């Protein structure tokens, strides 16, 4: 369902329904009281993407939703075009840029012709990056006019088409989050994963910092992305080793470590499986040597895996750590992994982060600590 209007007074009820669902789903694990973190009811998404729909002289943003009134085509449900004048779940900056961009290009064939998608990436402080995606090559004339458009809108602009990516000024924004009385800065790169709900991201970082406060030993973080948790948790540990497989995310994480002045963090381009092998002495090489694993005493592991969660083989090595911080974007896969981890660890804290209000999506945080007797 495409959200075109919001009735904010209904938000507490939908959040309560999520709370009840999560409590019921995980009751068998006997967790402590669920900590619930509410989102702003509107203007919470810092990024959004839209199709650009052309109808004669008209030009508008569009999304699609299932149209069950029409017959299926080759087994697929028909799609209905939803015209968007505003998008209330997106940030106020995105909502301000949406009409301004259309007004600037509607009567300009050079900028409008074969433009089929627009992506917005914004920050709480108002920085904005706009990506225009075309079904045509982008030439010098387009680039010259795009530079003027970038200046007039007060944004950073990128043009993309097949085998082309023209970055006019920069390909990222800098988010600034005040967390637990500290300000952290994060480079967020175009077309790379970042937490979409900045206020909930702030809540997640505060929760994770509190859950790991007064920690002993070192932290290993798997699936670290752009260093979102890495940066915020570093001061709770003697040393942090963070791993990620995406080259773009590793570069961004390293930039964020430097930007926040951290000297106890090492970011490695390595999969979770490779790290487990390195820790067991089964993998060597330059990247492994750089981590200086023989100097580490890992007490805590943080995992923030994809929606599929961890397979059984990847989940098993987590049991060697005294504490596990598990951030999950899919309660179903989290429950499967917890059934395995429950053999050695118990849940001592559990949180619900409402990353996507008005949807069924739930994001959870779990702190597990080793069982010393059963």
- List the Cα angle 150/198/302 in 5-degree steps: 125
Place of tokens 């961890």: 310
Tell me how far apart the alpha carbons of residues 199 and 356 are, in angstroms, rounded to a whole number: 11
Compute CA distances 339 → 53, 236, 247, 315, 345, whole Å.
Answer: 47, 28, 32, 11, 10
Q: Enumerate the active-site residues.
A: 329, 363
Rounded to 10°, the helix 140-153/92-105 angle is 140
Helix %, strand %, coil % of the chain (to 5): 35, 30, 35
- List CB contacts of 131: < 8 A, sequence separation 6 or more: 118, 119, 121, 157, 158, 159, 160, 190, 191
Structure tokens at 209: 């910092």
């Amino acid at each position: 369902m495409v959200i075109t209007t919001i009735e904010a007074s209904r938000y507490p009820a939908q959040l309560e329904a999520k709370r009840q669902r999560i409590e019921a789903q995980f009751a068998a694990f006997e967790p402590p009281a669920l900590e619930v973190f509410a989102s702003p009811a509107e203007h919470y998404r810092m990024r959004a993407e839209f199709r650009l729909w052309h109808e004669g002289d008209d030009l508008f943003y569009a999304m699609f939703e299932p149209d069950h009134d029409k017959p299926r085509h080759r087994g697929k449900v028909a799609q209905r075009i939803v015209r968007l004048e505003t998008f209330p779940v997106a940030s106020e900056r995105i909502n301000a840029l949406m009409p301004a961009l259309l007004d600037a290009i509607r009567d300009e064939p050079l900028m409008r012709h074969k433009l089929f998608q627009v992506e917005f990436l914004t920050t709480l402080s108002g920085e904005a990056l706009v990506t225009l995606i075309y079904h045509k090559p982008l030439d010098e004339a387009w680039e010259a006019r795009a530079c003027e458009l970038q200046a007039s809108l007060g944004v950073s602009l990128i043009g993309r088409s097949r085998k082309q990516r023209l970055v006019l000024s920069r390909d990222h924004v800098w988010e600034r989050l005040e967390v637990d009385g500290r300000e952290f800065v994060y480079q967020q790169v175009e077309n790379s994963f970042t937490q979409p709900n900045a206020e909930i991201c702030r809540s997640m970082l505060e929760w994770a910092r509190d859950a790991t406060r007064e920690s002993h030993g070192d932290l290993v973080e798997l699936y670290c992305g752009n260093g979102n948790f890495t940066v915020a948790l570093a001061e709770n540990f003697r040393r942090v080793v963070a791993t990620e497989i995406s080259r773009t995310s590793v570069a961004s994480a390293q930039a964020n470590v430097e930007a926040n002045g951290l000297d106890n963090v090492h970011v490695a381009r390595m999969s979770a499986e490779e790290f487990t092998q390195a820790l067991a002495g089964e993998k060597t090489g330059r990247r492994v040597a750089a981590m200086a694993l023989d100097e580490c005493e890992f007490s805590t592991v943080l995992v923030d895996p994809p929606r599929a969660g961890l397979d059984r083989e990847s989940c098993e090595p987590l049991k060697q750590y005294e504490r596990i911080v598990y951030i999950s974007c899919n309660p179903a896969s989290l429950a499967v992994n917890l059934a395995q981890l429950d053999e050695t660890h118990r849940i001592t804290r559990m949180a619900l982060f409402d990353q996507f209000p008005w949807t069924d999506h739930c994001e959870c945080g779990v702190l597990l600590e080793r069982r010393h007797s059963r």
